[in-house]
Amino acid sequence: MLIKPGPNGVDIPFASEITPRDVFESRRTFIRQLAVGSIAGGALAQMAAREAFAQSAVTKLAAKSNPAYVVMEKTTSYKDATSYNNFYEFGTDKADPAQYAGTLKTRPWTVAIEGEVKKPVTLDIDTLLKLAPLEERVYRLRCVEGWSMVIPWIGYSLAELIRKVEPNGNAKYVEFISLADKAQMPGLRNPVLEWPYVEGLRMDEANHPLAMLALGMYGEVLPNQNGAPVRIVLPWKYGFKSAKSIVKIRFTRDQPKTAWNISAPQEYGFYSNVNPLVDHPRWSQATERRIGEDGFLTRKRKTLMFNGYNEVASLYTGMDLKKFF
Ligand SMILES: Nc1nc2c(c(=O)[nH]1)N[C@H]1C(S)=C(S)[C@@H](COP(=O)(O)O)O[C@H]1N2
Ligand SMILES: [Mo]
């Protein structure tokens, strides 16, 4: 929605409706006007201040740190966490998501909750932001490729959402479905995976308090390349289980068919718990490279069972984790 034109005829939307894209567009207008000399000195400072306010009003996300979920390790730099990404919908190179995810339109955004649930509902992003108190949690993230990061996420336990929609007795699994829109996601042209990107959990895994619905990181809303505006974060599983930019959550009777498992079932199992004792068929999983520590003489870190999150071990008692990898 647009309100009255600002000085120099530039329409300024309400701060709450300014998206990073809008800020980008208004900056372009601003620069163009600067170039043709149509902005006077005072107005210039005023516009800069308003733009700074608009940006902060939109991107900052307040959250209370939850000390029970803070890993005592140096957090990865914001720059590394936002420029070294896997988000194949925007390309398969690590730098592609940062370069191309600007086209992702994160507002309006809804997540449809359906399947074996008493209260199916479609929630918009503002409702999700208010569904439960936002917490900051610093989690390790271990990619199946052998690198790891430490990221301060903002969100709450997925269990909070599950409780509100009341799964019925048939719900044994939950499926997370990412957006798949060719107009916004150039990587969908590549059939490297079956689109949309789908991930899933058993219900007890999804209800474990560590499993997080994330809406932000580093004190801000999620950058597009990290899965804006809402994603899953599962710190005891390989990174690919943590589906980005989700539009659907479906409760099911049967184990979901997940994107990486479909593409290479012998390499990527449904569970995909971090496990240094179960190697990937093509490489060891015993050690990892912490992003930001990769100097010439830096030693690799030992990968920990469940990525160090031993509190999930009881979910898997009696299961052969070599078989259910
Ligand atoms: N939709 C979608 N989600 C995804 C991926 C993807 O390609 N598409 N990549 C996964 C992989 S392999 C990893 S390691 C993490 C990376 O998350 P980050 O970029 O926020 O660190 O996102 C996961 N979620
Ligand atoms: Mo990954």
17 and 95 fall within a common domain: no
Q: Which residues surround ligand 2, an ion (CB under 5 A)?
A: 86, 143, 239-240
- The DSSP call for residue 117 is B
How would you label 197-227 residue by residue, b for 16+ Cβ within 10 Å and e otherwise?
bbbbbbbebbbbebbbbbbbbbeebbbbbbb
Name 144's Cβ contacts closer than 8 Å, sequence gap at least 6. 238, 239, 240, 268, 272, 280, 285
On the 0-12 / 13-18 / 19+ scale of CB atoms within 10 A, 316 is middle
Q: Which atom of ligand 1 is nearest to the CA of 84?
A: 19
Whether 243 is in the pocket of ligand 1, judged by its Cβ within 6 Å, is yes
Over range 226-249, report the average pLDDT. Answer: 99
Q: Is residue 264 part of a domain?
A: yes
| Protein residue closest via CA to atom 21 of ligand 1 | 85
Entry pTM = 0.85
Number of domain units in the chain:
2
- The band of 45, judged by pLDDT with boundaries at 50, 70 and 90, is low
- Residue 193 structure tokens: 């995976």
Residue 119 lies in a domain: yes
pLDDT at residue 191 is higher than 80: yes
- Pair 310, 243 in one domain: yes
Take atom 12 of ligand 1 and give the residue whose Cα is closest: 240
- In a domain, residue 251? The reply is yes
Residue 213 covered by a domain = yes
Give percent of the chain with pLDDT exceeding 70: 82
Do 94 and 171 lie in a common domain?
yes
The answer to whether residue 325 is domain-embedded is no
Is residue 59 domain-resident?
Answer: no
Distance (Å, rounded) from C-alpha 232 to C-alpha 247?
11
Q: What is the pLDDT of residue 117?
A: 98
Residue 7 has pLDDT above 50, yes or no: no
Atom of ligand 1 nearest to the CA of 179: 1
pLDDT grade, residue 297 (50/70/90)? confident
Q: Is 321 domain-assigned? A: no
**Confidence at 225, pLDDT banded by 50, 70, 90:** very high
Are 50 and 75 found together in one domain? no
The one-letter amino acid code at 205 reads: E
Give the DSSP H or E segment for 126. helix 125-130
32, 129: one domain:
no
23 shares its domain with 146? no
Is the CB–ligand 1 distance for residue 195 below 6 Å? no
296 band by pLDDT with thresholds 50, 70 and 90: confident
Same domain, 121 and 15: no
DSSP notation for 187-212: GGGSTTSPSSPEEEEEHHHHTSTT-E
Are 30 and 118 part of one and the same domain? no
Last residue of a domain, one of 19, 35, 54: 54
**Does 76 contact ligand 1 (Cβ within 6 A)?**
no
Backbone region of residue 155 per phi and psi (left: phi > 0; alpha: psi in -120 to 50; beta: other values): left
What average pLDDT does the structure give for the chain? 89
What residues have CB less than 8 Å from 27, skipping those under 6 apart? Answer: 51
Query: For ligand 1, atom 23, which residue shows the shortest CA distance?
Result: 240
User: 316-325 pLDDT, tens per residue?
Assistant: 999 999 999 9
Per-residue pLDDT band at 24 (split at 50, 70, 90) = very low
pLDDT attached to residue 31:
41
Q: Is residue 193 part of a domain?
A: yes
pLDDT of residue 199: 99
Whether 141 lines ligand 1, by a CB cut-off of 6 Å, is yes
Provide the domain limits for residue 43: 7-54
CATH code, domain carrying 297: 3.90.420.10
Whether residue 114 is found in the same domain as residue 197: yes
Judge if 146 and 19 occupy the same domain.
Answer: no
- Which atom of ligand 1 sits closest to the CA of residue 238? 14
Q: Are residues 167 and 31 in the same domain?
A: no
Specify whether 40 is located in the same domain as 92. no
